Amino acid sequence: MNKLGVFDLPLLLGSAILGSNFGVLSPAWGQVNPVSTTLTETDTTFNSSEDILELNRDYELLSELQQYSQTESDPAVESFPRVDSLQDVTPEDWAYDALLTLVNNYRCLAGDEDDTWRGNSSLTRYEFAAALSSCLEKVETLIAANLNLATEEDLASIERLIKEFDAELATVKNNVSDLEERTAFVENHNFSTTTTMRGRVRFDFNYILGGRKAVPSGQTPTEDLDVVPHFTDEVRLNLNTSFTGKDQLLVRLEAGNNTGLSTALTGTGMTFLSNAFNSSDNDLRLKKLFYRFPLGDRGSAYLATVFQTASDFVPTLNLAWSISLFGFNNPIYDIGFGAGGGAYYQFSDLIGAGLSYYAGSTNSPESGKGLFNGDFAALSQITLTPSERWSLALTYAHYYSPEPVLTNNLTSFLGSQFAQFPFGSSTATSSDNFNIAASYKVSDRLRLASWIGYSHAVAQSSPLINGLNGFEGSDADIWTWAVTASYNDLGKLGSNLSFIFGMPPKLTNNDITGREDRDTSYHLELSYRYPITDRIWITSGGFLIFNPEHNAENDHIWVGLIRLQLDI
């Protein structure tokens, strides 16, 4: 018999590795009798006396190792070591050669540049035991994946090494456990009120392909889409401070010159990029300022003063990377934009809930502005997590703006112009917004997500101010949806491949005649994020807008991006 049964080897090596916490690979495996497992209907039958003797020998070996793994080190042995424990292990010793054979066969120790270990100097028995412990852990993993790697000679060497270095292995195990406890204590108690800085630098190469500049539904495009390839930059610095170890004060400074391919350039907000700036002059500005603090053991509350949205604190359930603004999440999370605050509380593993309120002109004491008299959005959400694999979010938000063109509009600059301003850009508008989002973890690498949103908008002043034939109280319906997929570690650990397909916000019904989206736009996006190092990333991707502005008369628009990001 040249190989052990399917369950024998993990038990053997799991018992052997005293210097690690690896153990048996699966709890279920540990409940199976190793001998009876080898004698299944599909296994080879044992007819010869030699087979039976080998089987009995394996059983005795496993029983001995299982008993060994469950026995604590004898204090007397630790206090009075054997005489041979005082001797170094030299390259001439059989144990040295046996470990070197395991290293070369299984690549279980990191060594020279070609991943080989060329030991040629003496080691103390404890140094040798540390190397042996680390090697045994790697050997177990490799052998569990392919039993053909386990030769009888290797197993015999492992058994003999374990017996001769049992005391040293136990000492290594105890030392590692003590070090882990001390490290955990330091991590839990090492705190000071210190500000740390993190940041990033981005260099983007953007390009657009398309025929003519998009126009709203019902119109015919005439102007050429004259946007040339261009190069932009962004710098972000995050200053994080904690006063108690459980709270967070974030100050974010940013500068950039990417205007985001907005409506002014392409005729539609559907081409908006995710890292857009209102300025092209690389002016440094304060982009975020908030303070977050705990509410008991399961919740947190926060206060923000600038450029804040609910998506930073309420789970949106979309895990896909996005180079477009549309691909991040339902715009319901971002229609409230500015200063405010909120709270999120996880009542149990199943259910959590959050509230937020944001206003855009909180710093102004003028009539019609301020914290409660200007534009605002109030949001609430219930998040359900029935299992570790999938989650569901139910979201409601109420929005109001006295003049949407001067504030965050109805869809946060996404979708068609009709969806952003159903009653005109200067008509006071309110809306009730609803969202259902879900995510599903297919595997550790693949996750799926989706959302569908509906908004019911009402004109709070007369649309006549915009030259539209409407009245105060006119209403309109807006829909949006998307499905996303995110696949991690494709090609390299830390990489991400993301796919997004959906319909940008569309005005489907309006009391104002002729101001509806007659056709349907679709957003198709694919991007790949690849780590060159732990701090340098390259992202390549693009998205295609079919029928921009929900107008089949418009040419499709393709947006491409190549991004270099350096994390600071």
**Pick from 452, 451, 460, 502: nearest CA to 478:** 452
Q: Which H/E stretch holds residue 317?
A: none
pLDDT digits (tens, 9 = 90+) for 454-467: 999 999 999 999 99
CB 358 within 8 A of CB 314: no
- How confident is the model over 157-184, as a mean pLDDT? 80
Q: What value, to the nearest 5°, has the Cα angle with vertex 392 and ends 389 and 393?
A: 145
Which residue has better confidence, 426 or 177?
A: 426
CA distances in angstroms from 347 to 248, 352, 355, 551, listed in the order given? 22, 5, 14, 46
**Pick from 215, 214, 217: nearest CA to 509:** 217
Between CA 149 and CA 140 the distance in angstroms is 10
pLDDT exceeds cutoff 80 at 140: no
pLDDT exceeds cutoff 70 at 13: no
* Mean pLDDT of the chain, nearest integer: 82
pLDDT digits (tens, 9 = 90+) for 43-68: 433 344 444 444 444 444 444 444 44
- Tokens standing for residue 292: 């977050």
Between CA 117 and CA 104 the distance in angstroms is 7
- Residue 3, pLDDT score: 38
Which residue has better confidence, 193 or 53?
A: 193
Per-residue 3-state assignment (H helix, E strand, C coil) for 481-544: EEEEEEEECCCCCCCEEEEEEEEEEEEEEECCCCCCCCCCCEEEEEEEEEECCCCEEEEEEEEE
Which residue has better confidence, 431 or 60?
A: 431
Domains of the chain: 8-187 (no CATH), 196-567 (2.40.160.10)
Q: Please name the amino acid found at residue 458.
A: V
Q: How many CA atoms lie within 13 A of 237 on its CB side?
A: 9
Which residues neighbour 159 within 8 Å (Cβ) at sequence distance 6 or greater? Answer: 61, 65
Between CA 327 and CA 392 the distance in angstroms is 18
One-character DSSP codes across 469-483: S--TT-EEEEEEEEE
Between CA 499 and CA 449 the distance in angstroms is 10
Q: How many CA atoms lie within 13 A of 360 on its CB side?
A: 21
- How confident is the model over 232-260, as a mean pLDDT? 92
Between CA 310 and CA 356 the distance in angstroms is 6
pLDDT exceeds cutoff 60 at 373: yes
- How confident is the model over 258-263, as a mean pLDDT? 83
- How confident is the model over 8-35, as a mean pLDDT? 35
Which residue has better confidence, 463 or 71?
A: 463
pLDDT digits (tens, 9 = 90+) for 466-496: 999 899 999 999 999 999 999 999 999 999 9
One-character DSSP codes across 39-87: SSTTSPP--SHHHHHHHHHHHHHHHHHHHHHTSPPPHHHHHS--GGGGS
Name which of 148-157, 173-182, 287-296 the model is least confident about.
148-157
Between CA 66 and CA 162 the distance in angstroms is 12
CB 98 within 8 A of CB 161: yes
Q: Is 222 exposed, middle or buried (0-12, 13-18, 19+ CB in 10 A)?
A: exposed
CB 512 within 8 A of CB 470: yes
| Owner of token pair 């830390």 | 494
Q: Is 28 exposed, middle or buried (0-12, 13-18, 19+ CB in 10 A)?
A: exposed
pLDDT exceeds cutoff 80 at 85: no
- Tokens standing for residue 134: 């680390």
Backbone angles phi, psi at 12, to 5 degrees: -60, -55
| Owner of token pair 């495996």 | 29
> Which range scores top for mean pLDDT: 25-34, 104-113, 253-262, 434-443?
434-443
| Owner of token pair 């035991």 | 129
pLDDT digits (tens, 9 = 90+) for 387-413: 999 999 999 999 999 999 988 899 998
Angle between helices 125-145 and 8-16 (to 10 degrees): 160
